[in-house]
Amino acid sequence: MAQKPISRFLDRTTPPHIATLVLMAGTSAMSMNVFLPALPEMTEYFGTKYSVMQLSIAIFLAVNATMQLAIGPLSDRFGRRPVLIGGILIFLAATLGAIFAPSAQIFLLMRAAQAGIVTAMVLSRAIVRDMVPGEEAAQMIAYVTMGMSLVPMVAPTVGGYLTTLFGWQSSFWLLFAVGLLLLVTVYFDAGETAPKSQGSMRDALRGFPELMRSQRFLGYAISAATASGAYFAFLGGAPFLGSHVFGLTEDRLGLYMAAPAVGYFFGNFLAGKFSARLGMNAMILIGAAVCSAGVLASLCLFLLERATAESFFAFITLLGLGNGMQLPNSIAGSLSVRPHLAGTAAGLGGAMYIGGGAVLSAFAGSVLTEDGGAMPLMVIMLCASFSSILAALWVVHRERALGIR
């Protein structure tokens, strides 16, 4: 059996240290939610509608998804390290552009370019798969995302307080500082785990059809897409609910929006502890069921007109818990179907679940009104959660048919 590679911190001759992988994933996660409490203030600053500023989430996710289609094959062809550094540089330039944007349109353009940071998220997973196989990869991804989940747990709260004290640009200055730290850390620590291949870019792109013909890959990817889609719908709708339905201040909204990240942290811990023992598919199904139960319970309170801001965000913690148990296993499952295409699978799978998240986030933001309240958002989240269970059951069915244990 192959020995697990040894990682030494700040040694470019070894694979990245787990702390570097956590920072890679965490910076990408922070860029998604640290500024959310500032959306109402940004709407006033740019003199536009909330639905326009809410597109900063959907556009980021859409470009994020599109880029992942290229990141995987590029990293399989040219190696993880150069693609990673290039993505971070794009992110840093775009963050400065967002800070000094003169209009909402320019801001949204810079927000789209910020999606370059997705290279860090995608390649943190591909690098793990380069280092360790199968369910061990699920465990390691779980521990990386557990460390990463501390960031979205704290980021909205920090962003809310920064906005209250210094204005909306302060959240983006924080992103720039963290991105700069990531660039320095990656440069000095991230050794190459997938050296440049001898094939052409066309050869790398041929991995897409091979993956798309695999029903197991599609099942894992769709399960991840719909599970994370419920969370992205929450991201798209929660700022509106918090400010217009529940009347929360920016700092309090930022504090409450950390709720799913708290659940995600503990879900990742459970995934790391039990994935090897119970198996990837069992953990996916358990996580999807927990996620669905949390959303369903919250929906019932709204139907009974007993819902409060506290109850809504408390049950959303279960959404995060379920996602934390499910996603590391769904991702590891999609990477394990064709191990020789780990980078391509990370990119294609990521594009599917981030792309699905972009659609649901934009849809959630577009259908929310003060008269409609929370019901449209809750229905979207519940449908996404149930779909995740169905996709996971399809994977189980296919593996039984193929005789895979």
* 220 in any annotated domain: yes
Q: Interior CA angle at 317 toward 382 and 58, to 5°?
A: 60
* 5 in any annotated domain: no
* 243 in any annotated domain: yes
DSSP 168: T
H and E: helices and strands count for the chain: 17, 0
d(CA 343, CA 51): 35
Report which of 352, 298, 354 is spatially closest to residue 61, judged by C-alpha positions: 354
Indicate if the alpha-carbon torsion angle 272, 273, 275, 276 is positive or negative.
positive
Report which of 212, 214, 162 is spatially closest to residue 38, judged by C-alpha positions: 162
d(CA 116, CA 82): 13
Q: Please give the pLDDT value at position 2.
A: 45
- How far lies 40's CA from each of 36, 46, 174, 323, in Å? 9, 10, 19, 28
| Domain span including residue 306 | 18-190+200-402
d(CA 125, CA 38): 30
Task: Give me the amino acid identity at 132.
Answer: V
Contact 21, 124 (CB under 8 A): yes
* 13 in any annotated domain: no
Contacts for 355 with CB less than 8 Å, ≥ 6 apart: 61, 62, 65, 66, 225
* 7 in any annotated domain: no
Contacts for 367 with CB less than 8 Å, ≥ 6 apart: 376, 377, 380
Q: How many CB atoms lie within 10 A of CB 179?
A: 25
Task: Give me the amino acid identity at 77.
Answer: R
d(CA 347, CA 9): 26
Q: Please give the pLDDT value at position 197.
A: 59
pTM exceeding 0.75? no
Q: Please give the pLDDT value at position 1.
A: 40
How many structural domains comprise the chain? Answer: 1
Contacts for 143 with CB less than 8 Å, ≥ 6 apart: 18, 268, 272
* 3 in any annotated domain: no
Q: Please give the pLDDT value at position 3.
A: 52
d(CA 108, CA 35): 13
Q: Please give the pLDDT value at position 151.
A: 78
* 293 in any annotated domain: yes
* 364 in any annotated domain: yes
Q: Please give the pLDDT value at position 196.
A: 62
Contacts for 383 with CB less than 8 Å, ≥ 6 apart: none
d(CA 251, CA 2): 50
Contact 190, 81 (CB under 8 A): yes
**Dihedral (Cα; 111, 60, 37, 256), 10-degree rounding:** -160
Q: Is 311 exposed, middle or buried (0-12, 13-18, 19+ CB in 10 A)?
A: middle
Determine phi and psi for 308, rounding to 5 degrees: -130, 170
CATH number of the domain encompassing residue 162 = 1.20.1250.20
For the record, the structure tokens of 153 come out as 């747990």
Residue ranges for the chain with pLDDT beneath 70: 1-7, 132-135, 137-138, 149, 152, 195-205, 342-343, 405
Report which of 115, 172, 152, 184 is spatially closest to residue 33, judged by C-alpha positions: 152
Q: Please give the pLDDT value at position 134.
A: 57
Q: Please give the pLDDT value at position 199.
A: 56
pLDDT tens for 331-370 read 888 878 887 776 678 778 877 877 777 777 777 777 777 7
Residue 370's SS3 state is coil
